[in-house]
Amino acid sequence: MTVCFTEDHEWISVEGETAVVGITNYAQAQLGDVVFVELPDVGRTLAKGDEAAVVESVKAASEVFAPVSGTVAAVNAALATAPETVNAAPEGEGWFVKITLSDPSELDGLMDRAAYDAFVAAL
C-alpha cells in the first residue's frame, strides 16, 4: 500500500487500482469541528484537481480535491450521520471516497509522508 499527500492536505492510500482519499490531520485541525460532509455520487468520473467532496465545519467550508483522476467506486456513507469521524480519525475511518484510478502515473507528483511533514512544518 502506498500513501501520498497533496499540498491541499489530502491523503491518498493506494492498493492496486483503488485509492482511498481523505484529509490529513493538519487539515482537520485547521477546519475545527466538522459538522457536515457532502460526498460525490458513486460512478462519478473525477479529473485530478476536481472537487471530490465538501467539508463544512464550525469555522468554514472547504473543498476536498481529487488527488488523481478516476471513477468514484465508493463513498463513506457513515459520514452522513457521523461527520465528526473526520476529526477523530482523519487518516483512517474518516476517509471520503474510494476512486478507481484511471492514470496511476498521476501519483508520481504527490508527496510521501516525510515530504508532506516537511511541507507542513514550513507553513
Query: pLDDT tens string for the chain (123 positions)?
Result: 899 999 999 999 999 999 999 999 999 999 999 999 999 999 999 999 999 999 999 988 999 999 999 999 999 999 999 999 999 999 999 999 999 999 999 999 999 999 999 999 999
Question: Which of 3.40.50.2020, 2.40.50.100, 3.40.800.20, 1.20.1730.10 is the CATH number of 2-103?
Answer: 2.40.50.100
Where are the chain's structural domains? 2-103
The reported pLDDT for the residue numbered 1 is 80
Start-end of H helices in the chain? 25-31, 85-88, 113-121
* The three cell numbers locating residue 58: 464550525
Q: Are 63 and 54 spatial neighbours (Cβ–Cβ below 8 Å)? A: yes
* The three cell numbers locating residue 31: 477546519
Beta bridge partners of 110: none
Q: Are 76 and 95 spatial neighbours (Cβ–Cβ below 8 Å)? A: yes
